[in-house]
A and B are shown apart, each in its own frame.
Chain A
Amino acid sequence: MDVGTFVIGLSLSALRSATPLLYVLLGETLSERAGVVNLGVEGQMLAGALTGFAVTVLTGQPWIGCLAGAMAGLLLSSLHALLSLGLRANMFASGVAVWMLGGGLTAYFGTGFVGQKIDGFSGLKLKGLERFPVLNEAMAQITPTVLLVLFVWPLVGFWLYRARAGLTWRTVGESAETAAGLGLNPIRIRLQAILAGGALSGLGGAALSVDYTRNWIEWMTAGRGLIAVGLVIAARWNPFLALPAALLFGGTEALTLRLQALGVNASPYLLATLPYLVCLAVLIWGTRRAHGRGGMPRDLAAVFSRTE
């Protein structure tokens, strides 16, 4: 295998591995831009992963599965909205509660789906590509959920920076007080932002189980949702920077898998800590940048350094 093939293969599998995370990352960016932290994305991802997988098993239609997964994520995120907005509970603690509920419910109802297999999406086929096996193999990594996220990614950025509604969301995130003074309803806008984030994280979970792993295991997200919350900070709440941030995680994961496949003499368990360590490192880096250059929504800053 020559270097070029290795690099292309690695970048494409990085993109594939980053895809589920990118959905969650974009969703959490939306919520946080409106001033809401949601650790429940981990549970919402699990809900989306199980629902998406189960629906795909039952209907044989991966797209319907993805849609159902997004709905499941949205439904669960409404609980976070109820607790954090309605009851004004601590946002971090409320997120942990939603995470536990999502994890517990999916572990309970998912037992029957462990070990089942699905076909997932059929890969993209381009005519004439069969003559180039390397390219052909590379294209197999570009699955429909990858294409969809590449479409959603600029859309979220456009929404936040260029659409009128996106501006109201950002206003609420900077200062709910000012927004209320402008005649906006901060609670309603935050609710919308949480639900949008919930749908995207559910979709991300479904992309993981339906398209990436093509199976269901309880707690299969293994902290991806929490990593997304950390990466939002590293991406400085900028949806356009979400792609490179997600690729950093995807690249680390893809690299560890490649290294193992190449027979590198290191414990797979130590290698598996790498994505978490990378996330920790960029979280530190991102926080330091956020203090210097800003980028963090003001109301969110109050949540992050609260001393209640």
Chain B
Amino acid sequence: MFFLALGQKPFALIFEVVKGAFGDGYSLSETLVKTAPILLCALATAMPARLGMLSVGGSGQFYAGAIGGTFVVLHFGALPGGVLLPFLLLGGAAGGAVFGVIAGWLRAQWNVNETLVTLLLNYIGALLVDFAVYGPWRDTANLGWPATPAFPDAARLPTLFGTRLHVGLLIGLALAVLLHLALTGTRWGLMLRVMKGHPKVGLWAGLHAARAALLVMALGGALAGLAGICETSGIEGRLQSGIAANYGLTGFLVAWMAKQHFLKILPYSLAMGALLSASDALQLFAGMPAASAIVLQALLFFAVFVSGRLFESKA
């Protein structure tokens, strides 16, 4: 309806979206390039949600992860790729986890609302990246272009099929499956379910709610942090500001569409990646600003609530 109001033909537009997202090898790879950070950011929302916690801190953790990983590159860049890359990813995960832990700890310690804390940390994360690339980490060789020096080849994530697609997508896939198994099959997963649905039972059973809150927020932060360092190392090849784009909120939306289910997040992330990469293409061909992609996402969000209500009343 939004697009009708703008005088676009909706069906032709949908066709364009599909063509723009999957039409040829290049557009398919661009779709998958967008899918990787969305997938990781969606997992970052879904992980705390398993304990009933609502984190909207994807983009802040994304930036914190990018900073953490970049720190590793700038200080240990001389290491060979086989050693450097694991440390790079670890640095990214640690950076994001720090931001997650701040919110988790405040919640566990003083019951400070984690949603508000993660939201505020988003702005702080973005400003810290700005600080780094305009300040101490700025490459003076880039005249007027605020960014760190380019990463050495050993610090670039391997790409797939000769496209821009990087192994970050595979990492996200593996983690989604792994987390799904951990939550459905292990004692830990059951523990989270008990504490989420019946906090009092959890208390009686001697489960440590505070420890669990810290852990899920750390894991969630680490996932978004991985998205940040993968994007930095795999796509940009240097740290610069604005890299999180809208991935944090997009991931939040995807997690809600998938009802916080780790495996269902996979197809929804792909669909959202398709939408975003097609909207990039449409921006070139039909002159539609990227803002319309955000509007479309918001409308999708509304649709999630409406459909959630419909199914609820049927059940």
Contacts and interface: CB of A to CB of B under 8 A. Distances in A.
Contacts of A279: 120
A76 to B, nearest CB: 11
Contacts of B293: 104
A293 interface: no
B299 A101 contact: yes
Contact of A100 (B116, B298, B306): B298
B112 interface: yes
A280 B252 contact: no
B291 A108 contact: yes
Interface in B242-286: 249, 252-253, 256
B72 interface: no
A111 B289 contact: yes
A100 B294 contact: yes
Given A223-B123, A226-B116, A267-B135, A96 B52 contact: no
Contacts of B289: 107-108, 111
- Interface bin, chain A: 35 or more
A253 interface: no
A280 B117 contact: yes
A280 B199 CA distance: 27
B298 A93 contact: no
A94 B54 contact: no
A272 interface: yes
B124 A307 contact: no
Interface string A80-97: 000100011110111011
B309 A87 contact: yes
Given A89-B305, A223-B120, A226-B116, A273 B291 contact: no
A276 interface: yes
B110 interface: yes
B298 A283 contact: no
B292 to A, nearest CB: 6
A222 B122 CA distance: 11
Identify the interface centre among A87, A100, A108, A304: most chain B CB within 10 Å of its CB: A100
Interface string A274-288: 001101100110011
B128 A273 contact: yes
A99 B291 CA distance: 13
A280 B114 CA distance: 11
A229 interface: yes
Given A93-B256, A96-B56, A287-B111, A226 B292 contact: no
Contacts of A39: 115, 119
Given A218-B291, A267-B131, A272-B127, A100 B297 contact: yes
B116 A230 contact: yes
Given A223-B123, A273-B127, A283 B295 contact: no
A97 B106 contact: no
A96 B295 contact: no
Contacts of A127: none
A132 interface: no
B113 A83 contact: no
A270 B309 CA distance: 44
Contacts of A277: 124
Nearest to A304: B113
A100 B253 CA distance: 10
B2 to A, nearest CB: 9
A96 B252 contact: yes
B71 interface: no
A227 interface: yes
A284 B114 CA distance: 11
A94 to B, nearest CB: 7
Contacts of A111: 289, 291
A88 B313 CA distance: 12
A107 to B, nearest CB: 4
Contact of B249 (A87, A96, A218, A291): A96
Nearest to B199: A307
B82 to A, nearest CB: 35
A212 B249 CA distance: 28
A164 interface: no
Contacts of B119: 39, 223, 226
B110 A291 contact: yes
A151 interface: no
Given A93-B252, A104-B298, A307-B51, 9 more contacts: A83-B305, A104-B291, A104-B297, A107-B291, A270-B131, A273-B123, A291-B110, A291-B111, A305-B111
| List of 10 A-B pairs having minimum Cβ-Cβ separation, nearest first | A104-B294, A101-B298, A107-B291, A104-B295, A307-B52, A97-B301, A269-B131, A100-B298, A108-B291, A269-B130
